[in-house]
Amino acid sequence: MKNLDELVRKNILQLTPYSCARNEFSGVAKVFLDANESPYNAPLNRYPDPLQREVKRAVAAVKNVNEDCIFIGNGSDEAIDLVFRIFCEPAADNVVAFKPTYGMYEVCAGINNIEYRAAMLNADFSLSAERLLALADSRTKAVFLCTPNNPTGNSLDFGEVKKVLDSFAGITVIDEAYGDFSEQKSYRELLPRYPNLIVLNTMSKAWASAGIRLGMAFAAKEIIALMNNVKYPYNISLPSQREALSQLRRKERVDQWIKMILSERRRVISEFSRLDICRKIFPTDANFFLVRVSDAPEIYHYLLGCGIVVRDRSRVELCDNALRITIGTREENDALLNALRQYAK
Ligand SMILES: *Cc1c(COP(=O)(O)O)cnc(C)c1O
């Protein structure tokens, strides 16, 4: 395990972070003349809390993590980008991931001019830690693992993930965007044992709040401090912080939604498997499933004509003739199934 001094870019280690007005003053005051805000149009006239302390208190309670081990980002995409900006020296370092997986890791690598190395998953979408780790060298700063994986839907085998955690010396990022739908334990629980682990989560999926753009990273407080130094000072808007708080206080509703989505997923998969076009439905632990069909592009366009949009993944490696289908409401799912029953005729 390398320590942070060996992993963090020198310019980031030496950085004097921007100190905004709301950082410098945190006491009690009635008159705020420190930040060049307008006195009109409350509450939007005020800059939001740069460290989102109230939101973090609520997240800490829901996720059972210390507040200083939480980073709140403008979507988890912000946290992914920060991993590159903090740890990876452009045109010198590299990161390792597998494929197929979430596209943002490679896009962020490209934007930051970092070499992206990807090991193929097995044909059943299981992970070979050995094949992945074989791509790593002394300039590999981070490994990205997504579980449950997008677009395949499956959870990675715990033993293989553990091999990566135990053998890789740099930063291991585990993206649990769909973790709320899975029975598997969150890797958050391993944070005390793995100081170089970053676990990502988001309010965009099970929390049904993609519109507020709020993602989370959980990690050792030293890593969180680096993320706070590098992020934009006011990265989460006031309306988003308020909305996040009110959503986080209604967790029972989310648990209810998850139950409904999982029960619909069972039903849709069972109905889908009876369709003539269905070749193979891959095991899923998420709020979507990947299915191999007779002719994915043609069925994709047919569904579009019915006003139903799914994701054609047929050009993705290992996903030939595969569609990725999100679970919707019962009515939406029935619209999909009925359209496909018509297609067969
Ligand atoms: C949807 C998704 C996210 C969420 O990104 P946000 O920026 O938080 O909306 C992250 N990772 C994966 C794998 C996803 O599919």
Q: Strands, DSSP E only, in the chain? A: 70-73, 94-99, 115-120, 140-146, 171-175, 197-202, 215-218, 278-281, 288-293, 311-312, 322-326
For residue 345, what pLDDT is reported?
A: 65
Is the CB of 155 inside a 6 Å radius of any atom of ligand 1?
A: no
Q: List pLDDT tens digits, range 136-157.
A: 999 999 999 999 999 999 999 9
The alpha carbon of 36 and the centre of ligand 1 are apart by a number of angstroms equal to 35
Is the CB of 150 inside a 6 Å radius of any atom of ligand 1?
A: yes
> Residue ranges of the chain with pLDDT lower than 70?
344-345
For residue 295, what pLDDT is reported?
A: 97
If one residue of 77, 149, 240 were mutated to test the ligand 1 pocket, choosing by the most ligand atoms within 8 A of its CB, it would be 77
For residue 29, what pLDDT is reported?
A: 87
Mean pLDDT, rounded, of the chain? 96
The C-alpha torsion from 48 through 53 and 56 to 60, rounded to 10°, is -170
Q: Whose CA is nearest to atom 2 of ligand 1?
A: 177
For residue 94, what pLDDT is reported?
A: 98
For residue 278, what pLDDT is reported?
A: 97
The alpha carbon of 102 and the centre of ligand 1 are apart by a number of angstroms equal to 8
How would you classify residue 64: left for phi > 0, otherwise alpha for psi between -120 and 50, otherwise beta? left
The alpha carbon of 302 and the centre of ligand 1 are apart by a number of angstroms equal to 28
